[in-house]
Amino acid sequence: MKRQTLVFSFLLLFVAGMISCSSDNVDQDELLQAENLIQGLNMLGIMTDQAADAGSKSGPPTMAPPLGWEGPFAFDVPEGDDSLYYKFFLKFPLDSMAVTIDSVLFLIMFNPDVWDPQYQDSIPTGMDAWLIGETRALIYFHNIITIPDTAHVLGSLKWNWEETFYTYDFDVSTLTEGAEIDIATSSNIGLSAQFRFDDDGAGSTDDNWGAWHSTTFVRYEFFADPDANGYDGYYTLLSEAWKVRHYFKLVDD
């Protein structure tokens, strides 16, 4: 699953590039929000990789909430109706002066609720988790993961800062390199991306691209195996009329 996660290296580059190029036309507060969201993409990639690993394993679930967790309680979350979640409460410094201007709620619920004695022998097949401001509820991470079988992990992740957001939807295989990944952003950012990997990890320029306000400006080709020079693929750019191949190597960390 590392190949899919490493796609974020490229996504971060073109997101940062587009924000930099458009800085004269974007509100500075929106730029600050966008920079915070870019940092959040690293977290999304790691979480997706871990989720896929979890989907390929089985074992006894945790029988009770860990120390510090309470619930379940009903919460009115930003997306959807009141739902039951376990909570972990944390005072968190949110500004540059380390002044606590809000508190953070960690909310989580497994499907089935393996922290409920009624389901103590169950293996979780899904998870709904939030990292959300208690008073500024429109600043949050939201992560939904579904494990329909031992071969797939489906999910979505969203990092929302008031009117600015990134979303990341995925269907990844735990057995092969196959994956479908779709990325979208709010209109003030205007970026989107699509990645499609075959079972061997290959992906063509027709299916792997990044766009800004619906205009595709970068296309990726991923090789199933490194070529003779050790490259894992290449990308081409609209600004170069798609005529120049920029070869790259994926860094496996």
Same structural domain for residues 235 and 252?
yes
Domain termination residue (choose one: 91, 122, 148): 148
pTM (two decimals): 0.75
* Secondary structure (H, E, C), the chain: CHHHHHHHHHHHHHHHHHHHHCHHHCCHHHHHHHHHHHHHHHHHHHHHHHHHHHHCCCCCCCCCCCCCCEEEEEECCCCCCCEEEEEEEEEECCCCCCCCCEEEEEEEEEECCCCCHHHCCCCCCEEEEEEEECCCCCEEEEEEEEEEECCEEEEEEEEEECCEEEEEEEEEECCCCCEEEEEEECCCCCEEEEEEECCCCCECCCCCEEEECCEEEEEEEECCCCCCCCCCEEEEEHHHCCCCCEEECCCCC
Q: Cβ of 43: how many Cβ atoms within 10 Å?
A: 15
Q: Which domain holds residue 194?
A: 1-58+150-253
Same structural domain for residues 5 and 36?
yes
Same structural domain for residues 143 and 107?
yes
Same structural domain for residues 115 and 197?
no
Token look-up 């796609």 returns 7
Report d(CA 135, CA 19) in Å as an integer: 29
Q: Quick one: which of 212, 205, 196 has its CA closest to 242? A: 205
**Span 165-199, pLDDT tens digits:** 888 888 888 888 888 888 888 898 888 888 899 99
Same structural domain for residues 155 and 252?
yes
Same structural domain for residues 168 and 243?
yes
Same structural domain for residues 49 and 157?
yes
- Taking a C-beta distance cutoff of 8 angstroms, is the pair 91, 68 a contact? no
**pLDDT values of the chain reduced to their tens digit, one per residue, 253 residues:** 445 444 544 444 444 444 444 444 444 554 444 444 444 444 445 444 544 454 455 555 556 777 788 889 998 888 866 689 998 877 655 555 666 566 778 888 988 888 888 887 788 888 898 888 777 778 888 989 898 888 888 888 888 988 888 888 888 888 888 888 888 888 988 888 888 999 998 999 999 998 888 899 889 999 999 999 999 899 888 889 999 998 988 766 5
Same structural domain for residues 130 and 184?
no
Tell me whether residue 232 is exposed, middle or buried, using C-beta atoms within 10 angstroms of its C-beta: 0 to 12, 13 to 18, 19 or more: buried
Same structural domain for residues 142 and 68?
yes
Same structural domain for residues 155 and 244?
yes
Residue 198 tokens read as 């075959």
Same structural domain for residues 155 and 32?
yes
Same structural domain for residues 210 and 183?
yes
What total of structural domains would you count in the chain?
2
Domain termination residue (choose one: 148, 183, 216): 148
Domain termination residue (choose one: 101, 126, 148): 148
Q: Quick one: which of 158, 205, 223 has its CA closest to 3? A: 223
